[in-house]
């Protein structure tokens, strides 16, 4: 067998594996029967059906003929193989970007004039809000590749060191977001560490606070809320300029809510509202800003984890406020992914209050998103929503069971 047929370390859901098992059962063929007819072992076919091994197309064609599938298995293989190839390209891009971040962690920067590159990075931070993460990952890697090239030249005037550090911090921050949206929390953590290191070397306190907030976001993605709070505490040392302090306070509210401290969570959200009145304009918008809509979104994503009805009602109100505000926001502040997530948070709050119909009305706006907009946050939060539908409260509800199947199908 070719490289495509190497055994996978872990099983994964496979449409081909399922179709093969179904077709084999219909024909009354055992694993041993099909193995003998297609010149492989019984265990090998078992691994294909379980998603632990990916076969070459030649073998699928042979199995298709043997099982009288009339091309069905070959068609399933082609569709799934195309997706696997796309995933492989994406994963390689993630690995490459992480390797570059690891290089930067050990490097001492030196470069030439960076004004144009830094402007492109600022524009990319705005574009990111309305674009799928894959293309943004590639663009950020291209920009950072140029920064690394300039780093190797080592003929930059010392007065421009700060510009280089700021550029590297921001583009690494964008890479952290792209990696996280694509489900690579480990790579995101590496980029986040680079973002903070470069911001510290630039002496940019606003960017240092933002980087710590992003590192906390990554920790929260991994459900490590203790680490998330520690990073926020450190980020508060540098907060003050722009909206950095509001973002950190709202992140702290998310940590508190997930740790079951409803009193602290609600108090922190009140504090964030007071801080909004004292905040100044961010140096760069887009990913590096924290709009009023984003603040309402953070409030919803904090309060929805609480169990009391007042908090859930407030979560619903804030999610709706975030969605309505984003619809009217200028491009540099409207985040389409967060807008979709706010719909999931709205659905979660409603479901926890027993409003199944209203919850699914909100969730379906997200289920209709194109594939390239299905970021890891959305997939994870919809999984949380489907788990809620499986608890005792909805045990005897056929409507809830149907809704749960609808949500689960989003992940397949």
Q: Quick check: is 78 in a domain? A: no
- What mean pLDDT, rounded, does the chain reach? 87
Asked whether residue 166 is domain-assigned, the answer is no
Which own/partner contact pairs does 233-238 have at CB distance under 8 Å and 24+ positions apart? 235/208, 235/209, 235/210, 235/211, 236/209, 238/205, 238/206, 238/208, 238/209, 238/212
For residue 45, pLDDT over 70 is answered with yes
Q: Is residue 315 part of a domain?
A: yes
Report residue 98 as tokens: 């992480």
Assign residue 409 the CATH number of its domain.
Answer: 1.25.40
Residue 341 lies in a domain: yes
The answer, yes or no, to whether residue 395 has pLDDT greater than 80, is yes
- Domain membership of residue 121 (yes or no) is no
Output the pLDDT for position 97. 78
pLDDT of 100 higher than 80: no
Let me know if residue 240 belongs to a domain. no
Res. 351: pLDDT tops 70: yes
Has residue 11 got a pLDDT over 70? no
Euclidean distance between CA atoms 411 and 395, whole angstroms? 22
- The mean pLDDT of 366-383, rounded to a whole number, is 86
Question: pLDDT grade, residue 114 (50/70/90)?
Answer: confident
Per-residue confidence (pLDDT) for residue 43, from 0 to 100? 83
| Contact predicate 397/204, CB 8 Å | no
The residue that leads in pLDDT, 264 or 95, is 264
Domain residue limits at 14:
3-70
6 band by pLDDT with thresholds 50, 70 and 90 = very low
The pLDDT score that the predictor gives to residue 156 is 60
Single residue among 50, 70, 90 that ends a domain in this structure: 70
Helix-helix angle 244-258:262-278, to 10 degrees: 170
Q: What is the pLDDT of residue 371?
A: 78
pLDDT at residue 33 is higher than 90: yes
Question: Is residue 207 over pLDDT 60?
Answer: yes
Residue ending a domain, choose from 47, 70, 93: 70
For residue 56, the domain's CATH number is: 1.10.260.40
d(CA 315, CA 71): 50
Q: How confident is the model at residue 350 (pLDDT cuts 50, 70, 90)?
A: very high
8-11, Cβ contacts within 8 angstroms, sequence gap of 24 or more: 8/51, 8/52, 8/53, 8/54, 10/52, 11/50, 11/51, 11/52
Is residue 91 very low, low, confident or very high in pLDDT (cuts 50, 70, 90)?
Answer: confident
* pLDDT digit string, tens, across residues 229-269: 999 999 999 998 899 999 999 999 999 999 999 999 999 99
Residue 221 is assigned to a structural domain of this protein = no
* DSSP SS3 for 53: strand
Q: Look at residues 49, 70, 91 and tell me which one is the last residue of a structural domain.
A: 70
By the 8 A CB rule, do 307 and 391 touch? no
* pLDDT at position 99: 62
Nearest Cα residue to 250 out of 203, 204, 213, 195: 213
Higher pLDDT, 148 or 63: 63
In a domain, 110, yes or no: no
pLDDT of residue 9: 39
Rg (CA), the chain: 24
- Which band of pLDDT confidence, cut at 50, 70 and 90, is reported for residue 360? very high
For residue 7, the 8-state DSSP code is B
pLDDT tens sequence across 286-327 = 999 999 999 999 999 999 999 999 999 999 999 999 998 887
For the chain, the domain total comes to 2
State how far the Cα of 55 lies from the Cα of 58, in Å rounded to an integer.
Answer: 8
Residue 223, Ramachandran bin (φ over 0: left; ψ between -120 and 50: alpha; else beta): left
Please give the pLDDT value at position 163.
Answer: 87
Where does the pLDDT of residue 370 fall: very low under 50, low under 70, confident under 90, or very high at 90 and above? confident
Here the tokens at position 180 are 């996280």
**Mean of pLDDT values over 145-154:** 76
At residue 53, what are phi and psi to the nearest 5 degrees? Answer: -140, 145
């Amino acid at each position: 067998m070719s490289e495509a047929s190497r055994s996978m370390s872990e099983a994964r859901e496979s449409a081909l594996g399922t179709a093969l098992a179904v077709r084999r059962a219909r024909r009354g063929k055992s694993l041993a029967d099909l193995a003998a007819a297609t010149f492989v072992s019984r265990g090998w076919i078992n691994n294909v059906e379980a998603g632990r091994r990916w076969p070459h197309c030649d073998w699928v064609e042979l199995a298709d003929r043997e099982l009288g599938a009339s091309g069905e298995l070959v068609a399933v293989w082609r569709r799934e193989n195309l997706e696997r190839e796309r995933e492989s390209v994406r994963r390689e891009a993630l690995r490459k970007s992480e390797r570059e971040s690891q290089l930067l962690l050990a490097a001492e920067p030196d470069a030439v004039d960076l004004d144009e590159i830094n402007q492109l990075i600022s524009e990319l931070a705005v574009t990111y809000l309305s674009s799928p993460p894959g293309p943004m990952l590639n663009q950020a890697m291209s920009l950072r590749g140029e920064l690394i090239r300039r780093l190797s030249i080592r003929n930059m005037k010392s007065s421009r060191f700060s510009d280089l550090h700021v550029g590297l911090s921001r583009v690494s921050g964008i890479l952290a977001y792209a990696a996280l949206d694509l489900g690579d929390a480990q790579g995101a953590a590496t980029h986040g560490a680079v973002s903070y290191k470069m911001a510290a070397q630039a002496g940019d306190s606003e960017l240092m606070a933002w980087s710590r907030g992003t590192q906390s976001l990554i920790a929260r993605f991994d459900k490590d809320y203790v680490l998330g709070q520690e990073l926020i505490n450190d980020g508060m040392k540098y907060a003050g300029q722009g909206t950095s302090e509001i973002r950190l306070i709202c992140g702290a509210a998310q940590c508190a809510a997930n740790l079951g401290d409803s009193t602290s969570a609600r108090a922190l959200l009140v504090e964030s509202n007071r801080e909004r009145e004292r905040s100044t304009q961010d140096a760069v918008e887009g990913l590096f800003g924290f709009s009023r809509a984003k603040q309402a979104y953070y409030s919803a994503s904090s309060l929805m984890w609480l169990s009391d009805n007042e908090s859930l009602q407030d979560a619903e109100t804030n999610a709706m406020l975030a969605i309505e505000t984003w619809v009217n926001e200028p491009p540099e502040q409207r985040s389409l992914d967060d807008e979709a997530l706010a719909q999931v948070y709205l659905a979660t709050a409603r479901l926890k209050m027993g409003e199944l119909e209203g919850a699914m009305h909100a969730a379906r706006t997200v289920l209709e998103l194109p594939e390239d907009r299905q970021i890891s946050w959305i997939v994870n939060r919809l999984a949380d929503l489907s788990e809620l539908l499986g608890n005792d409260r909805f045990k005897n509800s056929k409507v809830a069971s149907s809704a749960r199947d609808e949500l689960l199908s989003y992940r397949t």
